Chains A and B, each alone.
Chain A
Amino acid sequence: MQPRRPELKYAAPREQRSAWPLLVIVLLAVSLLGADSWWRPSNSDEGYPSRPLQSESEPVLSPPPPIDEEYFPCSDCHEDELADPERRELDEHDYIKLAHGDLWCLDCHQSDQRDLLHLSDASPVRMEESWRLCTRCHAKRIPDWRAGVHGKRTGYWRGPKQYRTCVVCHDPHSPLFKPLEPMPPPIPAGDLRASSREEEEVPHAEQ
C-alpha cells in the first residue's frame, strides 16, 4: 500500500455524510447528564440513622472545691467571740496570700460565726453559696455566668450540663488566674517526618 501525500481529495458532500458528529454529541450529552451534582449537595433522601437528642436540661451548679480539713469548719478553733476588726497580717493563716483588690479577711468572712461569709449588709452567706457574695461586687458577671458565656461548661449542650461556682476557677483570696505551662508547640512543616519505624530517612525541605 503506497503512503499518500498530504493533499487529499475532498469527498462530494452528499455521498459520505457521516453520523459520527451526531454520535459524539449524543455521547457527551449522556455522560454529562450522568453527573448528577448540578445542584448544591443536599441530604440524600435515603437518610441514615438519626437518634433524638435528650431533652433540654437545667444546668447543674458544681459544688465549690472542698476546703482543707485542717482548717474547716472554722468553728473548731474559733468560738463565737468577735474577731479583732483591725486590718493586719494574720500569723496563723499566713499560707493565704491575700491579693483581692483592697479587701482583707473580715470584709468577706463573718467576724462572729467564722463558718459563714457575710454580705455588706451583714446578712450571712454559707460557704457553698459563696457566689452570692462574689456577685455583690461583680454583678456584671451574673447574666453572662447564668447564660454559660462566662465560665466553663461541661457535659451536654443539650442534656445534663454542669457549670461552676465562682470559687471553682477563681481562688477567692487571689482571684487572678495563675499562668499555666503551655503544651508543646506544633512541629513546623519543614520538620515533619514519617515515624521512625521506617528505615530510611525521608527527605524534607529547609524551613
Chain B
Amino acid sequence: MKNIMAFASFFLKEIVRGGRTYYAWLVCLGLLIAIGVAGYLEQSVHGHIVSNMRDPVPWGLFIGTYAFLVGVAAAAMALAVPGYVYNWKPIKDIVVLGEIIAISAVIMAILFIMADLGRPERFWHLLPFLGKPNIPYSMIAMNVMVLNGYLVLNVVLVFYFLYCSYADRPYNRAFFMALMLFSIPAAISIHTTTAFIFNVLPARPYWNSAILVPRFIATALCAGPALMILAFQVLRKAANINIRDEALVKIAEITAIVLFVNLLLFFAEVVTEFRSATAHTVHMQFYFTGIGDDVGLAGWAWFGATCNVLAFLLLLIPRTRKYPVTMNLGCVLVFIGVFIEKGIGLVLPGFTPGSLGEIYEYFPSRVEAMIAIGIAGVGVLVFTLLSKAAIRLTFSEPLEEDGHLQVEGSPKGAYRPDPVRP
C-alpha cells in the first residue's frame, strides 16, 4: 500500500515537472479546453439548437467523430499483436504508449457522446443495476458497456505495467499476458459494436449492410497506427527517447496492408451500389455527385477518397514508406481520409435523404466546432500527461543533474534517433 501511494505521488510529481516547452504546451491545451468549455456552456443554456443538427439529420459532427475515435482506440491492438503475440521487441517497447493513445481516444469518445446527449445528467440511466440498459438489443447500450470495459482494461494494463516498473517488481506474467491478449478481441469488439450501431438499422439503407463491420475495423486499423506513427515521432523528439525506426516502419507497413483491405471494401461498396442502382443508391449519389441542384458532399467525398489512395501508394512503396517525409505525409493523408470517410462520409449520407425523402444539408455549427476542439484538447492533454509519466518509467535512465535524460550507450546529451536508410 505504501508503495502504491509512493507510485501515485511519483506519478503526480512527474506530470507537473517539466521545462518551459512543456508548460507552454499545457497552456495551449488549456486554451483549447477553455474554448470547448465555452461552447459547451452555450449549448447547455440554449440546448442543441445551437448545433446544426435537426430532425432530418439528428446526428452530426459529434457522432461521426465518436465513431472515428472508437476506431483509433481499437487500433492500439495493432501494436499488441506484433508486440506480444509475435514477441517483436521494437514494438513491445511502445505498446504501453499505444495503450495510452487508446485511453485518450476512449475518453474523447465518451466526452463526444456526453456532449451529444440531450440530457447528459441522465447518463446513469445507461448503467447496469442503477439504470435500465436495453441490452442486448440496443447497440448503443452494448457499445457503451464494451467501451467502458475496454477503458478499464487499458487503464488496468497501463497502470499495472507502470507500477511494476516503478516498484521494480516483476509483473505477473499470467495476469498481464491474459489481459494483453484479451485486449485484442476487446478492441475488435468495441469497434464491431460501434459498426453495429449503424448497420442494424433497416431504416437507413446506406448503412444497413454487413460490410460496414469489416470497413470499420479496416479504417480503424489504418487511422490508429497512422496517428501513432506521428505521435511517437513527436514524443521521440520531445522526450529524447529511443523509439526505433524499424518499429515505425513496421507499423506503416501494417497500415499499408490494412489500407489495401479498406480500399477494396470501399471499391466493393461503390460498385455494388452504383451497379444495382436501386432507390437506395441515392444516398451514395448524394455523397459523391450530389442530387439535382444540391452539390451535396461531393467535394469532401472525392477529397477523402484521393487522400486514401495517395496514402496507400505512399505507404505501400518501400522507398516512400521508409523515407520519413513521405511516410509522415502518408500517415497524415490516411488520417484525414479515414476521418472524412467515417466522420462525414458515414453519418451524413446515411441521413440524406431522410426517411420521408427530405434533404437537409448539414454542416457543423460554430458551437459544435468549439466543443470538438475542446474535447480534442482534453484527449491530447490526457495523452500528454500519461505518456510523460510512462516515458519516465519505461524509457529513461537515471537523471543527470541538468535534467537531461541519458540513454545507455549514447554520448551524454547527444542522443539522436537512428537515421533512416533508404
Contacts and interface: CB of A to CB of B under 8 A. Distances in A.
Given A21-B175, A37-B132, A189-B360, A203 B10 contact: no
B135 A11 contact: no
B49 to A, nearest CB: 5
Given A8-B165, A35-B128, A194 B46 contact: yes
Interface in B337-378: 358, 360-363, 365-367
A34 B52 contact: no
Given A4-B165, A203-B50, A34 B128 contact: yes
B358 A189 contact: yes
A133 B51 CA distance: 62
A87 interface: no
Contact of A16 (B129, B172, B367): B172
Interface stretch (B199-207, B302-310, B319-327, B391-399): B391-399
A123 interface: no
B49 A3 contact: no
B171 interface: yes
A198 B166 CA distance: 56
A35 B135 contact: yes
A189 B56 contact: yes
A149 interface: no
B49 A202 contact: yes
A38 B133 CA distance: 9
A17 B172 contact: yes
Contacts, number: 108
B280 interface: no
Nearest to B360: A189
Contacts of B164: 8
Contacts of B366: 203
Interface residues of A, number: 38
A32 to B, nearest CB: 6
A42 interface: no
Nearest to B45: A198
A9 to B, nearest CB: 4
A38 B47 CA distance: 33
A3 B172 contact: no
B20 interface: no
Contacts of A6: 92-93, 165, 394-395
Contacts of B6: 1
Contacts of A99: none
Contacts of B362: 205
Interface string A2-14: 1111101111010
Interface of A: 1-6, 8-11, 13, 16-18, 20-21, 24, 28, 31-32, 34-38, 188-190, 192-194, 198, 202-207
13 contacts: A3-B166, A3-B392, A6-B394, A10-B173, A11-B170, A11-B173, A18-B172, A20-B175, A35-B135, A37-B132, A189-B56, A203-B52, A205-B54
Can you list the 6 inter-chain pairs with the closest CB atoms, starting with the nearest? A34-B129, A189-B54, A35-B128, A205-B52, A9-B170, A34-B128
Given A1-B10, A24-B156, A207-B360, 14 more contacts: A1-B168, A8-B170, A13-B173, A21-B175, A34-B128, A35-B128, A35-B129, A35-B135, A37-B135, A192-B54, A194-B47, A198-B46, A202-B49, A203-B50
